[in-house]
Amino acid sequence: MSTGKAHATASVLAAPAMGLTLIFLVTPEIGVGAFLGCLLGVVLTPDLDQITISKSEWWIVRYVPVVGWLWMALWDLYARLIPHRSFWSHAPIVGTAGRLLYLGTIASLRWSVLPMLSIVWVQGAILGLAASDTIHCLMDLGGKK
């Protein structure tokens, strides 16, 4: 089974490859969004379904304590509702969508609150986050015996 550090490293390494590929093949906005989405996968990880502190949560608590504790509190209900490594948290498209819906519902994110974000960047970020989740899922499957 891959570690949180391995998952984070894979997402960070995938970010420039995915970003540059999409910049040249699709649009610069989608590419930049995908790059940022892959990096977002380090903290918006499928492992937020753990009741115990995940590697990414530990990192946030260590380097940005107040934000880290708020982040953990935000995801506590999610971790209690969704079993660890379940289809609902770790399946590539389903898990990504579920975490985004949960975050949007709990945090009440609205486009009017974030007017500086281009919808194309957001689409790219969702694509990058889904790619990061897919890598995470494949690494978990590869570690099972």
The boundaries of the domain holding residue 101 are 4-49+84-142
- Does a structural domain hold residue 111? yes
- Structural domain count of the chain: 1
- Does a structural domain hold residue 20? yes
Three-state DSSP state, 38: helix
- Does a structural domain hold residue 128? yes
pLDDT at residue 144 in the model: 60
pLDDT per position as a tens digit, 94-104 = 999 999 889 88
- Does a structural domain hold residue 37? yes
Q: What is the spatial distance between Cα 127 and Cα 84, in angstroms, rounded to a whole number?
A: 23
pLDDT higher at 144 or 58: 58
pLDDT per position as a tens digit, 79-130 = 999 998 899 998 889 999 999 889 887 766 555 555 556 777 788 888 989 9
Compute the average pLDDT of residues 13-26: 94
